Amino acid sequence: MFEQLKTLPQDPILSLMKTFREDPRTDKVDLGVGVYRDEAGNTPIMAAVQAAQERLLATETTKAYIGPAGTEGFNHLIGQLILGQDHPALRDDRVNVVQTPGGCGALRMAAEFLNLCQAGTTVWVSAPTWANHIPLLTGAGLDIREYPYLDKATLSVDFDAMTACLEQAAAGDVVLLHGCCHNPSGADLNADQWSAITDLVERKGLLPFIDIAYQGLGEGLDRDAQGVRLMAQRLPEVIVASSCSKNFGLYRERTGALMLISANAQQGKAATSQLLSAIRSHYSMPPAHGAAVVEMILDTPELMQQWQHELNGMCSRILELRAGLSQALTPAGDFSFIERQRGMFSFLGISPQQVQTLRDEFGIYMLDSSRINIAGLSTETLPRVAEALREVVEHTE
């Protein structure tokens, strides 16, 4: 049977990682892989995470299964982290949260759940969107349509085009939105745009599906969740997929959550029973360690304070790198959009040929789309990257 299979092309990011590793140059710079890096170029274990792990090691007494939903404590605390402790949806018992294997697990289980609600549900995704969104959703049998999101001339949100397109959506369609730190563009909806898109979704009877994978890395924990909180308050049903990979640095622990916000407690109970049935038939039980770390941090005041301090430092560093890169590129044109964007990623708006030149001649690696990981820069590498970018832009226009 296996002899009939053909080798598939490697994922572009994985291929870029391989090429980077094989490059012998010592001054090469990796701006492709989407992980947070510190000034030394490392992806460190956060101090709050390390402290929580040590406490777990000293107190954990079993490795038994934790059940398809994960632990009640983790789910409760993640709900509060995303929505805020006093959110009306929480008070009204409209919120149900289950732990998942990372944000990918949350997205895929949401897709399976939507297909249970209505086979072949139409999901509208932004163009561009994270590369794995479409495979995760179509793999569950959902139908994908795209709405324009990024103005290629200004590299900002083309909100008029976005809303005009979504006016074509039918009642019952799903709209996938990035809660903050849009991946791959870094262009986020502002407060007024969140309000307007909530009006549109409510008027047309659409279901918002929000992927919030970077809470705390844009403008802070609360401001990054403003869109989710608004929709959860205004709308009867919302689906939220979240990840602890970036804001807790738990990449390899695969810790995420899926939140169902329902019109009332009874509908939420029925919906969650269907979701848990889908989970049971896929991976059955989520991994425990990462969620236990997060639960301990969120439930321990001194660890919570330490984690927030570290996260705020990461966020501030990214904002400083954005400002520094934008200013350093000024002689080559208007790159002010880099400073206006939020989160780890930005499109530079340069051509694939220019990207290749940066890779070949300067050892600077990024995706062909010109998406870069801002957090892959440092105060040491930023000047050299900016100088190379200026040279390539000025000589190949």
Instruction: Look at residue 396 and tell me whether its pLDDT is greater than 80.
Output: no
Tell me which of 3.90.1150.10, 3.40.50.720, 3.30.420.40, 3.40.30.10 is the CATH number of domain 2-45+316-396.
Answer: 3.90.1150.10
The active-site residue out of 130, 173, 194, 375 is 130
Please compute the mean of the pLDDT values over residues 350-376 and round it to a whole number. 95
Give the residue extent of every domain in the chain.
2-45+316-396, 65-299
Per-residue pLDDT, 384: 96
- The CATH class given to the 65-299 domain equals alpha beta
65-299 matches 2-45+316-396 in CATH topology: no
The active-site residue out of 169, 232, 246, 257 is 246
The active-site residue out of 89, 111, 140, 213 is 213
DSSP annotation of 30? E
pLDDT, one tens digit per residue, over 91-101 is 999 999 999 99
Per-residue pLDDT, 244: 98
Residues 6+ apart with CB under 8 A from 56: 289, 292, 293, 296
DSSP annotation of 350? -
Instruction: Look at residue 372 and tell me whether its pLDDT is greater than 70.
Output: yes
The active-site residue out of 30, 158, 188, 211 is 211
Q: Is the peptide bond before 12 cis (omega within 30 degrees of 0)?
A: no
294: exposed, middle or buried (C-beta count within 10 Å: 0-12, 13-18, 19+)? buried
14: exposed, middle or buried (C-beta count within 10 Å: 0-12, 13-18, 19+)? exposed
Q: Is 130 a catalytic residue?
A: yes
pLDDT, one tens digit per residue, over 297-335 is 999 999 999 999 999 999 999 999 999 999 999 988 899
Q: Is 246 a catalytic residue?
A: yes
Instruction: Look at residue 397 and tell me whether its pLDDT is greater than 80.
Output: no
